[in-house]
Copies of this chain bind each other. A is one copy, B any other.
């Protein structure tokens, strides 16, 4: 079953700063290079009921593709080198179709 993997987050950088734009562009370039990543999208989170400001969303065909992405060296390097130092706060959610 297809899985939509999402993470809603707030960067340490000011919204719409050059540093924020660079993070989003680099994330798109690096993460979409990982096999299995489909429908990669970047959204702004605009509800005042959350302090988080962006969302990454991507779709995997199945759990195996998701696990291969998580373990892929491009993904783990991105997490270590960019995500950890540049993300102030985040929450992951993964969605599947309801039964």
Copy count, this protein chain: 2
State which residues 12-49 of A face B: CB under 8 Å. Answer: 16, 24, 42-47, 49
Residues of the B chain whose Cβ atoms lie less than 8 Å from the Cβ of A45: 93-95
Q: Is the beta-carbon distance between B97 and A43 smaller than 8 angstroms?
A: yes
Distance in Å from the Cβ of A73 to the closest Cβ of chain B? Answer: 22
Majority DSSP secondary structure for residues of A touching B: strand
Q: How many residues of A contact B (CB 8 A)?
A: 26
Which chain B residues lie closer than 8 Å to A54 at the CB level? 98
| Closest B residue to A91 using CB positions | B50
Q: How far is the CA of A8 from the CA of B91 in the complex (A)?
A: 11
Nearest first, the 6 A-B pairs at minimum CB distance are: A43-B95, A47-B94, A42-B98, A49-B92, A46-B94, A44-B96
